[in-house]
Amino acid sequence: MHTASSIQFQTSTLRTKPHSYVDTPHMPPNLSAKEQEILKWCAIGKSSWEIGRILNCTEAGVNYHFCNIRRKFRVSSRWLALIKALEMGLIHLEGETELHPAVAQITRLASKRL
């Protein structure tokens, strides 16, 4: 049987966050070189399968990295993670030939704000 204090302790431990999460908008997450490269390919519009072929790894491996990227940015999609990475300056797309149309529009809007 659980006592009130043990239940309270257990629920308070559930509220703690891993250290890899972004706690403030001023503190960018620490992305690995592979995660940055995957985000760049995503910005060009490549699928997980295509990125896996380019980087010589499996689609599941790319999706694993995307899962870590989403967790670090505390977002639910790769597109939101990409937007945050661009806004925080964690990836740079200068010189990229063909950006995904949505990413091209986002970068144009972001440059107008600056």
| Domains of the chain and CATH, by start | 32-113 (1.10.10.10)
Tokens at residue 90, please? 């964690």
Tokens at residue 10, please? 């257990």
Quick one: pLDDT at residue 109? 67
Q: What is the largest CA-CA distance in the chain?
A: 64
Query: Sign of torsion, CA 78 104 106 86?
Result: positive
Tens digits of pLDDT across the chain (114 residues): 454 444 444 444 444 444 444 445 567 899 999 999 999 999 988 999 999 999 999 999 999 999 999 999 999 999 999 989 988 888 887 665 566 777 777 666 666 655
Nearest in space to 90 (alpha carbons), one of 44, 28, 38: 28
Nearest in space to 42 (alpha carbons), one of 85, 76, 71: 85
pTM above threshold 0.75: no
**Angle CA(7)–CA(12)–CA(14) in degrees, nearest 5?**
100
Nearest in space to 91 (alpha carbons), one of 8, 99, 113, 50: 99
